Chain A
Amino acid sequence: MTNLTLPGLLDTDAIRKDFPVLQRLLHDDRPLVYLDNAATSQKPRQVLDVLAAYYEQHNANVHRGVHVLAEEATALYEGARDKVAAFVNAPSRDEVIFTKNASESLNLVANMLGWADEPYRVDADSEIVITEMEHHSNIVPWQLLSQRTGAKLKWFGLTDEGRLDLSNIDELITEKTKVVSFTLVSNLLGTVNPVETIVRRAQDVGALVVIDASQAAPHMVLDVQALEADFVAFTGHKMLAPTGIGVLWGRQELLEDLPPFLGGGEMIETVTMGSSTYAPAPHKFEAGTPPIAQAVGLGAAIDYLSDIGMAEIAAHEHAITEYAVNRLQEVPDLRIIGPNTAVDRGAAISFVLGDIHPHDVGQVLDEQGIAVRVGHHCARPVCLRYGIPATTRASFYLYSTPGEVDALIDGLHHVRNFFG
């Protein structure tokens, strides 16, 4: 691989030593080129060690029991909540709800609103606004809510360049709109969306704003106060943490007013046979034994990311993305699906290669040790919008190198020769 340096790059030689799996050799001793980070990230030794130490030294259930391990486990779990709160600049730690992933976070919001009293209640007179570039996790919960309440579901369309079409924003978001939910960064197109414009309009009509930050939290500075959203959802496993831990941040007064969704242990104040009262947020929304080790692992991942710095990680990924976008366009018959510059764009790049099906592209790349994602990326409406059945997607992270971009380009030339 080449040793090209670009302005803004991190010291990837040092970073990559922290990730055991990146040392793997695949078929015929080829180094792993892991370009599937939008699906899930790899995990550094520092996170793996914290997970092992948790189970080896501290494992207990949280918020009950007075023994040493229970107190340690509770302190570690709640300490992870403090780390998340600081990471997203939440005004209060009590605004951070742990879930199992971003899908659960978004389903939780949809169900809070479906069961809420006025003024939040979504009913047959309400409208819900989402966008055509959402991941299925930010489509289906709203379709379910719409079907169950009779609320009307409306969509922002997309431009040919892969951006949100905001030209009809005033017709889409109206006095009837109860909630607007959209992704900060598209998992398929890579587009970074103009939050402020949408939030302004939503605030003008009194609608709640939900932001899916699954593809943003791992890659950039995330400040829930600056976003001025009401809810922000993301998942841990895309940001160096284990699977099974997600976050829903919500504004405190909303979390106080809105009803719980899942009932069970942990989320109650008192229970009688007649009725129950609920614990204050965030516990009101965390029924049952939570993913304790996973939350602690998320805390360790946040420590790791924060040591490097989210602004520095964003600059690194921007440099890699710009290089990759330019080099991909050197490949004959390659069409990028999404913005073809690095401006307002994340590090996930989807493309089609002539009429070679993405499955075949991915298979031949895999043989060279290059891991990409192929398919509709759980965002099928986007594929339909651009008239394609599927894409190949390369997505980068803090440990990605220009040499890996070069490997991808060489690999794509090989794919063309193979099927040519």
Chain B
Amino acid sequence: MKLDSMYQEIILDHYRNPHGKGLRDGDAEVHHVNPTCGDEITLRVRLDGAVVADVSYESQGCSISQASASVLNDLVVGKPVGEAQQIQEAFLELMQSKGQSDGDEDLLEDAVAFAGVSKYPARVKCALLSWMAWKDATAKALAAHPA
């Protein structure tokens, strides 16, 4: 069934047990909204020198947006900012692939499970909400504390 390509078990697992959820101290905070569906996220980034020390968030939204925030947390926390930005760009590229890419599993790990979502234009924004919030918050944190 086609639905299973979107709702992979790994996505449903992250949705049911999100990693890193909750707001903790950060160097920058952003609030992003998906105006077409009302999904919202408040996200904070804390940097330790040039390393992403923490990504914390409060969010409401569909399973795709919630799971995506959880995977984001897994993938970027503990990574050098430059490497995390590469992962973010790779995820963005995957989500814009319209189902034509499987994603680089070495780089994206669990996030390749979202490849199926890229076939559903209405849901791509759900998957990207937390990632765009992270990109924005990281830029703010870097501006406040140049690495």
Which of A's residues lie within 8 Å of B, judged by CB?
Answer: 27, 357-360, 363-364, 367, 374-376, 380, 383, 389-390, 418-419
Residues of A contacting B64 in the complex (Cβ-Cβ under 8 angstroms): 359-360
Q: Is the CB of B38 within 8 A of A376?
A: yes
For B120, the chain A residues whose CB sits under 8 A away are 363
Contact A363 B123 (CB under 8 A): yes
B7 — nearest CB in chain A belongs to which residue?
Answer: A418
Stretch at the interface among B18-26, B55-63, B73-81, B86-94: B55-63
What would 14 more interface pairs be, CB under 8 Å, given A359-B126, A389-B39?
A: A358-B62, A359-B39, A359-B61, A360-B62, A363-B3, A364-B3, A367-B3, A375-B36, A375-B37, A380-B38, A389-B38, A389-B40, A389-B60, A390-B37
Closest CB in chain A relative to B47 CB, distance in Å: 30
- Complex Cα spacing A218 to B27, Å: 53
Q: A357–B7 contact, CB under 8 A?
A: no
Question: B3, A359: Cβ atoms under 8 Å?
Answer: no
Q: Give the docked Cα–Cα distance between A390 and B39 (Å).
A: 9
Please determine whether B38 and A390 come into contact, CB atoms closer than 8 angstroms.
Answer: yes
| A359 surroundings in chain B (CB, below 8 A) | 37, 39, 61-64, 123, 126
Cβ-defined contact, A374 with B6, below 8 A: no
Interfacial chain A residues near B37, Cβ < 8 Å: 358-359, 374-376, 390
Interface-centre pick from A359, A390, A418, A419 (highest chain B CB count, 10 A):
A359
In the complex, how many angstroms separate the beta carbon of A188 from the nearest chain B beta carbon?
A: 12
A118 to B135, CA, bound (A): 53
Interface assignment of B143: CB less than 8 Å from any CB of chain A = no
B:85-141 near A, CB below 8 Å: 120, 123, 126
B36 contacts across to A, CB distance below 8 A: 375
Residues from chain B with a CB closer than 8 A to the CB of A390 are 37-38
Q: Which residues of B contact A375 (CB under 8 A)?
A: 36-38
Count how many chain B residues have C-beta atoms less than 8 Å from C-beta atoms of the other chain.
Answer: 19
The one of A357, A358, A363, A389 in contact with B6, judged by C-beta atoms closer than 8 angstroms, is A363
From known contacts A27-B2, A359-B123, infer whether A419 and B63 are also in contact, taking CB-CB under 8 Å: yes
List 8 contacting pairs A-B, 8 Å CB cutoff, sorted by A.
Answer: A357-B61, A359-B126, A360-B63, A367-B3, A383-B38, A389-B61, A419-B12, A419-B63
Provide the residues of chain B in CB contact with A374, threshold 8 Å: 37
Say whether B63 contacts A357, CB under 8 Å.
yes
B1 within 8 A of A: yes
Contacts of A419 in B (CB 8 A): 12, 63
Provide the residues of chain A in CB contact with B6, threshold 8 Å: 363
* Chain A hits for B1, CB < 8 A: 367
**Contact mask for chain B residues 1-35; partner A; CB cutoff 8 A; 1 contact, 0 none:** 11100110000100000000000000000000000
Q: Which residue of B lies closest to A27 (CB)?
A: B2
Distance A389 CA – B33 CA, assembled complex (angstroms): 11
CB-CB < 8 A to B3: which residues of A?
363-364, 367, 418
Cα A376 to Cα B37 with chains together (Å) = 6
Question: Quick one: which of B7, B38, B39, B62 has the most chain A CB within 10 A?
Answer: B38
Hey, which chain A residues are within 8 Å of B7, CB to CB?
Answer: 418
A244 to chain B, nearest CB (A): 22
Instruction: Specify which of B3, B64, B123 lies most central, judged by the most chain A CB atoms within 10 Å of its CB.
Output: B3
Give, as a whole number of angstroms, the nearest-CB distance from B87 to chain A.
25
Query: What is the bound-complex CA distance between A192 and B64, given in angstroms?
Result: 35
Neighbour of B2 across the interface among A360, A367, A380, A389, CB < 8 A? A367
In the bound complex, residues from chain B placing their C-beta under 8 Å from that of A367 are 1-3
Quick one: closest A residue to B1, CB to CB? A367
Chain B contacts for A358, CB-based, 8 A: 37, 62
B102 CB to nearest chain A CB (Å): 21
- A374 to B61, alpha carbons, bound, how many Å? 12
Q: Report the nearest B residue to A375, measured CB to CB.
A: B37
The smallest C-beta distance from A27 to any residue of chain B, in angstroms, reads 7
A359–chain B nearest beta-carbon distance, Å? 4
Residues from chain A with a CB closer than 8 A to the CB of B126 are: 359
A357 to B126, CA, bound (A): 12
Q: Which residues of B contact A376 (CB under 8 A)?
A: 37-38
**Chain B minimum-CB-distance residue to A388:** B38
Nearest B residue to A391 via CB reads: B38
Distance to closest chain A CB from B1 (angstroms) = 7
Min CB gap A47→B, angstroms: 28
